[in-house]
Amino acid sequence: MWKELTTAIDSLYDEMVNIRRYLHQYPELSFQEEKTAQYIADTYEELGIPHQINVGGNGVIATLTGGKPGRTVALRADFDGLPIQDEKDVAYKSKIDGVMHACGHDAHTATLLTVAKAMQQYQSDLPGTIVFIHQHAEELAPGGAKSIVDSGVLDNIDAVFGTHLWTNTPFGVVETSPREFMAGADRFSITIQGKGGHGAMPHQTNDAIVIGSQLVTNLQQIVSRRVDPLSTAVLSIGTFNAGNTFNIIADTATITGTVRTFDPDLQNQIIQEMENIIKGTCTSYEAGYTFNYEKGYPPVVNHPEQAALVLQAASEVNEVENAREVVPSMTGEDFSYYLLKKPGAFFFTGAQKEGHIYPHHHPKFDIEERSMVLAAKTLINTVKLFQQEK
């Protein structure tokens, strides 16, 4: 039955591509995905698979009960888009101005819907129960995963798995880690209040740009000089905004950025170091400031046994050339909340499109659509191996 299931994915490939391209044309922002959620619910209605809507927000949960005894496994896909203008020259370009699927969530959804359809065709032979989690709002904290977990969806789950189609990884490669896999992702903002004035009379001002520049330099020394070199951390400045014209010294500057860690103690250390440096720098320049720090998603920490199952499952897919263990990525994902609740694993499915150099969250982002087949087959094989465990 399992071999027939994976073969069914091949026969459903064109349909899977059509779903992905339709969703790509009609993206919706985080917490606003009402039409996408309705599309997903309508698909399960057509398949005759029981489902719930508005779970934890816009989440859709479908449940397929197999005809044979077994454990309960959850598979997750996200479905929100990003506030980015689609600049690709393709027929399936986003039709929604300023919004696009620039991270592959459309393909995640198409993959999971196709897995559900294939499994429904073999429901009588399927062991256990499969719960299909279609999650809203992965891209914007507080995210959709936590509210879905809080709704109780995972209470009777034995394990949970998910994948991210990953354009940094070549097509034909599947990657995961038996421990930390993706970092906790935080964000911060700093506003400096100086004193503006004419550029010809700097001595009468308190230049927010000079203060901000010094602050950026000082903050970069936290990881390089205050964090144990054997620990892992990132502090990156993403924006620096100040001033309105060439000959006026700015009175305010706003700096935003992100901190990525795996260890909560290190996370708290960095927050304290930032507070000390910001206060010290601004005080030395006699400038005021505000500092806002928002803790985001926890790190994605896989469970070793389930991560090993994923690699074994991927290695049994003919199209997978390499199923490998990798070092953690400093990117973040709210799949972490599922793994804090239940055993499971998250993995990358290589989706690098030949000749296409644009990364995730780029206006010209796109994927190798055949990667959806590898993702679907790896998920199916993972369920198989989990059900076969003693």
Active site residue 42: no
Element (H, E) at 19: helix 13-25
Pairing of strands 127-135, 59-65: antiparallel
Check if the beta carbon of residue 131 is closer than 8 Å to that of residue 61: yes
Check if the beta carbon of residue 161 is closer than 8 Å to that of residue 211: no
CA distances from 272 to 96, 234, 265, 268, 298 (A): 42, 15, 11, 6, 18
Residue 269, classed as helix, strand or coil, is: helix
Catalytic residue of the set 138, 175, 186, 207: 138
Burial of 97 (0-12, 13-18, 19+ CB in 10 A): exposed
Check if the beta carbon of residue 179 is closer than 8 Å to that of residue 301: yes
The residue count for the chain: 390
Active site residue 45: no
Structure tokens at 25: 């044309």
Q: What is the DSSP string of 217-250?
A: HHHTHIIIIIS-TTS-EEEEEEEEEE-SSTTEE-
- Show the CA angle centred on residue 75, arms to residues 73 and 79, nearest 5°: 160
- Show the CA angle centred on residue 108, arms to residues 112 and 355, nearest 5°: 135
- Per the omega criterion (within 30 degrees of 0), is the bond before 142 cis? yes
Q: What is the CA radius of gyration of the chain?
A: 23
Element (H, E) at 178: none
Element (H, E) at 37: helix 34-47
**Backbone conformation region of residue 243, classed left if phi is above 0, alpha if psi is from -120 to 50, else beta:** left
Catalytic residue of the set 80, 158, 333, 366: 80
Give the catalytic positions in this structure.
80, 138
